Protein backbone atom coordinates (compact mmCIF):
# COMPACT_ATOMS: atom_id res chain seq x y z
CA UNK A 1 0.00 0.00 0.00
CA UNK A 2 1.54 3.33 -1.04
CA UNK A 3 1.69 6.31 1.32
CA UNK A 4 -1.35 8.11 -0.12
CA UNK A 5 -3.59 5.01 0.03
CA UNK A 6 -2.27 4.14 3.49
CA UNK A 7 -3.05 7.61 4.79
CA UNK A 8 -6.56 7.49 3.29
CA UNK A 9 -7.17 4.06 4.82
CA UNK A 10 -5.94 5.07 8.27
CA UNK A 11 -7.78 8.43 8.19
CA UNK A 12 -11.01 6.52 7.53
CA UNK A 13 -10.33 4.29 10.54
CA UNK A 14 -9.54 7.31 12.73
CA UNK A 15 -12.89 8.84 11.74
CA UNK A 16 -14.60 5.53 12.55
CA UNK A 17 -13.10 5.02 16.02
CA UNK A 18 -12.35 8.56 17.22
CA UNK A 19 -15.99 9.00 18.22
CA UNK A 20 -17.79 9.52 21.56
CA UNK A 21 -19.05 5.91 21.43
CA UNK A 22 -15.39 4.84 21.85
CA UNK A 23 -15.58 6.14 25.45
CA UNK A 24 -18.21 3.56 26.42
CA UNK A 25 -15.80 0.64 26.23
CA UNK A 26 -12.53 2.37 27.10
CA UNK A 27 -10.85 3.30 30.43
CA UNK A 28 -10.95 6.95 29.33
CA UNK A 29 -14.54 6.93 30.60
CA UNK A 30 -13.21 7.24 34.17
CA UNK A 31 -11.69 10.75 33.83
CA UNK A 32 -14.68 11.73 31.66
CA UNK A 33 -16.74 11.62 34.87
CA UNK A 34 -15.05 14.88 35.96
CA UNK A 35 -14.98 18.48 34.78
CA UNK A 36 -12.24 20.15 36.88
CA UNK A 37 -8.77 20.02 35.28
CA UNK A 38 -6.98 18.55 38.30
CA UNK A 39 -9.70 15.95 38.88
CA UNK A 40 -9.50 14.88 35.24
CA UNK A 41 -5.72 14.55 35.16
CA UNK A 42 -5.44 12.69 38.48
CA UNK A 43 -8.20 10.24 37.53
CA UNK A 44 -6.65 9.83 34.08
CA UNK A 45 -3.15 9.26 35.46
CA UNK A 46 -4.32 6.63 37.93
CA UNK A 47 -6.49 4.69 35.49
CA UNK A 48 -3.78 4.85 32.82
CA UNK A 49 -1.32 3.45 35.37
CA UNK A 50 -3.46 0.34 35.88
CA UNK A 51 -4.42 0.01 32.21
CA UNK A 52 -3.16 -3.46 31.47
CA UNK A 53 -5.16 -6.64 31.11
CA UNK A 54 -8.84 -6.95 30.31
CA UNK A 55 -10.43 -3.57 29.55
CA UNK A 56 -13.59 -4.39 31.49
CA UNK A 57 -11.45 -5.20 34.53
CA UNK A 58 -9.51 -1.93 34.10
CA UNK A 59 -12.75 0.05 33.98
CA UNK A 60 -14.11 -1.71 37.08
CA UNK A 61 -10.88 -0.97 38.96
CA UNK A 62 -11.04 2.64 37.76
CA UNK A 63 -14.54 2.96 39.18
CA UNK A 64 -13.32 1.59 42.51
CA UNK A 65 -10.55 4.21 42.53
CA UNK A 66 -13.09 6.92 41.79
CA UNK A 67 -15.26 5.78 44.70
CA UNK A 68 -12.25 5.45 47.00
CA UNK A 69 -11.40 9.11 46.32
CA UNK A 70 -14.95 10.20 47.11
CA UNK A 71 -15.41 11.35 43.50
CA UNK A 72 -13.10 14.30 44.27
CA UNK A 73 -9.60 13.20 43.21
CA UNK A 74 -7.81 16.54 43.69
CA UNK A 75 -9.30 17.25 47.11
CA UNK A 76 -8.55 13.68 48.17
CA UNK A 77 -4.92 13.90 47.03
CA UNK A 78 -4.31 17.28 48.66
CA UNK A 79 -5.72 16.00 51.96
CA UNK A 80 -3.73 12.77 51.84
CA UNK A 81 -1.01 11.90 54.39
CA UNK A 82 1.21 9.04 55.48
CA UNK A 83 -1.24 8.42 58.31
CA UNK A 84 -4.10 8.05 55.83
CA UNK A 85 -1.96 5.69 53.76
CA UNK A 86 -1.98 3.25 56.66
CA UNK A 87 -5.80 3.22 56.70
CA UNK A 88 -6.28 3.10 52.94
CA UNK A 89 -9.20 0.86 51.93
CA UNK A 90 -8.18 -2.34 50.16
CA UNK A 91 -7.36 -1.88 46.50
CA UNK A 92 -5.63 -4.17 44.04
CA UNK A 93 -5.43 -4.38 40.26
CA UNK A 94 -3.02 -7.02 39.00
CA UNK A 95 0.27 -6.17 40.76
CA UNK A 96 -0.76 -2.61 41.68
CA UNK A 97 -1.87 -2.64 45.32
CA UNK A 98 -2.45 -0.50 48.44
CA UNK A 99 1.27 0.06 48.98
CA UNK A 100 1.64 1.46 45.47
CA UNK A 101 -1.56 3.48 45.62
CA UNK A 102 -0.62 5.09 48.93
CA UNK A 103 2.69 6.26 47.53
CA UNK A 104 1.04 7.48 44.31
CA UNK A 105 -1.22 9.76 46.36
CA UNK A 106 1.77 11.09 48.32
CA UNK A 107 3.77 11.67 45.13
CA UNK A 108 0.88 13.43 43.41
CA UNK A 109 0.40 15.71 46.41
CA UNK A 110 4.10 16.60 46.26
CA UNK A 111 3.86 17.38 42.54
CA UNK A 112 0.87 19.70 43.01
CA UNK A 113 2.27 21.37 46.12
CA UNK A 114 5.89 21.78 45.05
CA UNK A 115 6.05 21.46 41.25
CA UNK A 116 2.91 23.29 40.06
CA UNK A 117 1.21 20.10 38.89
CA UNK A 118 1.81 17.33 36.39
CA UNK A 119 1.50 19.50 33.30
CA UNK A 120 4.23 21.82 34.56
CA UNK A 121 6.65 18.94 35.12
CA UNK A 122 6.17 17.53 31.63
CA UNK A 123 6.32 21.00 30.04
CA UNK A 124 9.55 21.82 31.89
CA UNK A 125 11.38 18.84 30.41
CA UNK A 126 9.63 18.51 27.03
CA UNK A 127 11.71 18.56 23.86
CA UNK A 128 10.55 20.17 20.65
CA UNK A 129 9.68 16.89 18.94
CA UNK A 130 9.31 14.46 21.85
CA UNK A 131 7.97 13.97 25.36
CA UNK A 132 9.93 10.76 25.96
CA UNK A 133 12.80 12.45 27.88
CA UNK A 134 10.15 14.34 29.87
CA UNK A 135 8.62 11.02 30.95
CA UNK A 136 12.03 10.04 32.34
CA UNK A 137 12.30 13.32 34.28
CA UNK A 138 8.69 13.06 35.46
CA UNK A 139 9.45 9.63 36.90
CA UNK A 140 12.47 11.06 38.74
CA UNK A 141 10.30 13.82 40.20
CA UNK A 142 7.51 11.40 41.05
CA UNK A 143 9.85 9.17 43.05
CA UNK A 144 11.81 11.99 44.71
CA UNK A 145 10.20 11.18 48.09
CA UNK A 146 11.09 8.03 50.07
CA UNK A 147 9.17 5.25 48.37
CA UNK A 148 8.79 1.45 48.24
CA UNK A 149 11.17 0.09 45.61
CA UNK A 150 8.39 -2.13 44.24
CA UNK A 151 6.32 0.89 43.24
CA UNK A 152 8.81 2.22 40.68
CA UNK A 153 7.83 -0.48 38.21
CA UNK A 154 4.41 1.14 37.76
CA UNK A 155 5.84 4.09 35.83
CA UNK A 156 7.85 3.07 32.78
CA UNK A 157 10.98 4.85 31.56
CA UNK A 158 11.61 5.31 27.81
CA UNK A 159 15.28 5.99 28.52
CA UNK A 160 15.47 2.40 29.79
CA UNK A 161 14.04 1.26 26.43
CA UNK A 162 10.43 0.87 27.61
CA UNK A 163 7.62 1.62 25.16
CA UNK A 164 5.90 3.36 28.13
CA UNK A 165 2.52 2.57 26.62
CA UNK A 166 0.38 3.58 29.59
CA UNK A 167 1.97 6.97 30.25
CA UNK A 168 2.03 7.77 26.53
CA UNK A 169 -1.70 7.01 26.51
CA UNK A 170 -2.18 9.34 29.48
CA UNK A 171 -0.29 12.08 27.64
CA UNK A 172 -2.46 11.56 24.56
CA UNK A 173 -5.54 12.03 26.69
CA UNK A 174 -4.21 15.24 28.27
CA UNK A 175 -2.56 16.93 25.27
CA UNK A 176 -4.32 15.90 22.09
CA UNK A 177 -6.92 18.39 20.90
CA UNK A 178 -9.86 16.19 19.99
CA UNK A 179 -12.83 17.70 18.14
CA UNK A 180 -14.83 14.52 18.83
CA UNK A 181 -14.72 14.79 22.62
CA UNK A 182 -12.67 11.67 23.36
CA UNK A 183 -9.24 13.04 24.25
CA UNK A 184 -9.33 16.01 26.63
CA UNK A 185 -6.66 18.39 25.29
CA UNK A 186 -6.52 20.31 28.60
CA UNK A 187 -2.72 20.73 28.65
CA UNK A 188 -2.14 23.79 26.51
CA UNK A 189 1.60 24.16 27.17
CA UNK A 190 2.31 21.02 25.12
CA UNK A 191 1.58 20.19 21.50
CA UNK A 192 0.00 17.06 19.98
CA UNK A 193 2.97 17.06 17.59
CA UNK A 194 5.19 16.08 20.54
CA UNK A 195 3.19 12.98 21.43
CA UNK A 196 4.17 9.36 20.84
CA UNK A 197 1.80 6.53 19.98
CA UNK A 198 0.89 4.28 22.95
CA UNK A 199 2.47 1.13 21.54
CA UNK A 200 1.05 -2.20 22.68
CA UNK A 201 0.60 -5.66 21.20
CA UNK A 202 -2.47 -4.61 19.17
CA UNK A 203 -1.15 -1.38 17.68
CA UNK A 204 2.28 -2.94 17.19
CA UNK A 205 0.99 -5.94 15.23
CA UNK A 206 -1.20 -3.78 13.00
CA UNK A 207 1.62 -1.28 12.42
CA UNK A 208 3.90 -4.12 11.27
CA UNK A 209 1.27 -5.53 8.90
CA UNK A 210 0.87 -2.05 7.37
CA UNK A 211 4.62 -1.53 6.99
CA UNK A 212 4.77 1.29 9.53
CA UNK A 213 7.01 -0.69 11.88
CA UNK A 214 9.76 -3.23 11.26
CA UNK A 215 11.18 -3.69 14.76
CA UNK A 216 9.86 -6.89 16.34
CA UNK A 217 9.97 -5.79 19.99
CA UNK A 218 7.47 -3.31 21.42
CA UNK A 219 10.07 -1.09 23.08
CA UNK A 220 11.29 2.52 23.02
CA UNK A 221 13.16 1.96 19.74
CA UNK A 222 9.95 0.72 18.16
CA UNK A 223 8.09 3.78 19.49
CA UNK A 224 10.67 6.03 17.81
CA UNK A 225 10.35 4.15 14.52
CA UNK A 226 6.55 4.35 14.63
CA UNK A 227 6.73 8.04 15.60
CA UNK A 228 8.75 8.80 12.47
CA UNK A 229 6.27 6.91 10.27
CA UNK A 230 3.16 8.52 11.76
CA UNK A 231 4.67 12.02 11.65
CA UNK A 232 5.02 11.62 7.89
CA UNK A 233 1.27 10.97 7.68
CA UNK A 234 0.30 13.87 9.97
CA UNK A 235 3.10 15.90 11.61
CA UNK A 236 0.65 18.00 13.65
CA UNK A 237 -1.42 15.15 15.11
CA UNK A 238 0.45 11.87 14.62
CA UNK A 239 -1.11 9.97 17.51
CA UNK A 240 -4.62 10.27 16.14
CA UNK A 241 -3.60 7.09 14.33
CA UNK A 242 -3.59 5.28 17.66
CA UNK A 243 -7.36 5.07 17.20
CA UNK A 244 -6.88 3.42 13.80
CA UNK A 245 -4.16 0.96 14.85
CA UNK A 246 -5.90 0.03 18.11
CA UNK A 247 -9.33 -0.21 16.49
CA UNK A 248 -8.09 -2.38 13.64
CA UNK A 249 -6.40 -4.73 16.09
CA UNK A 250 -9.01 -4.96 18.84
CA UNK A 251 -12.31 -4.51 17.02
CA UNK A 252 -11.50 -5.87 13.55
CA UNK A 253 -8.84 -8.49 14.28
CA UNK A 254 -6.73 -7.04 11.46
Q: What's the predicted TM-score (pTM) here? A: 0.96
pLDDT greater than 80 at residue 1: no
Count of domains for the chain: 1
Output the pLDDT for position 53. 85
pLDDT greater than 80 at residue 60: yes
Contacts for 81 with CB less than 8 Å, ≥ 6 apart: none
Q: What is the pLDDT of residues 80-109, one digit of tens each?
A: 999 999 999 999 999 999 999 999 999 999
94: left (phi over 0), alpha (psi -120 to 50) or beta: left
CA–CA dist 198, 243 (Å, integer): 10
Q: What is the pLDDT of residues 61-79, one digit of tens each?
A: 999 999 999 999 999 999 9
Cα end-to-end span (Å), the chain: 15
Among the listed residues 204, 139, 134, 113, the one whose alpha carbon sits nearest the alpha carbon of residue 165: 204
Output the pLDDT for position 191. 97
Q: What is the mean pLDDT of residues 239-249?
A: 96
Among the listed residues 131, 123, 126, 87, the one whose alpha carbon sits nearest the alpha carbon of residue 105: 87
pLDDT greater than 80 at residue 193: yes
pLDDT greater than 80 at residue 113: yes
Instruction: Report the chain's mean pLDDT, rounded to a whole number.
Output: 96
pLDDT greater than 80 at residue 55: yes
- What range does the domain containing 66 cover? 3-250
pLDDT greater than 90 at residue 124: yes
Beta strands in the chain (DSSP E): 92-93, 96-97
CA–CA dist 75, 94 (Å, integer): 26
CA–CA dist 23, 75 (Å, integer): 25
Q: What is the mean pLDDT of residues 208-233?
A: 97
Burial class (CB in 10 A: 0-12, 13-18, 19+), 48: buried
pLDDT greater than 80 at residue 137: yes
Q: Coil, helix or strand for 234? A: coil
pLDDT band at 253 (very low <50, low <70, confident <90, very high): confident
Q: What is the mean pLDDT of residues 125-135?
A: 96
Amino acid sequence: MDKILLKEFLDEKVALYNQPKFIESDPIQIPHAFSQKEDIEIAAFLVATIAWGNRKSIINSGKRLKDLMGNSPFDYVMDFSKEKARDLPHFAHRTFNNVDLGYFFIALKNIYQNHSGMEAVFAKYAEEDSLQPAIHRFKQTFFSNPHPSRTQKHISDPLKNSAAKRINMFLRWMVRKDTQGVDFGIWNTLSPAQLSCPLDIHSGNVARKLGLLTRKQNDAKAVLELDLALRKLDPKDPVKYDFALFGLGVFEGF
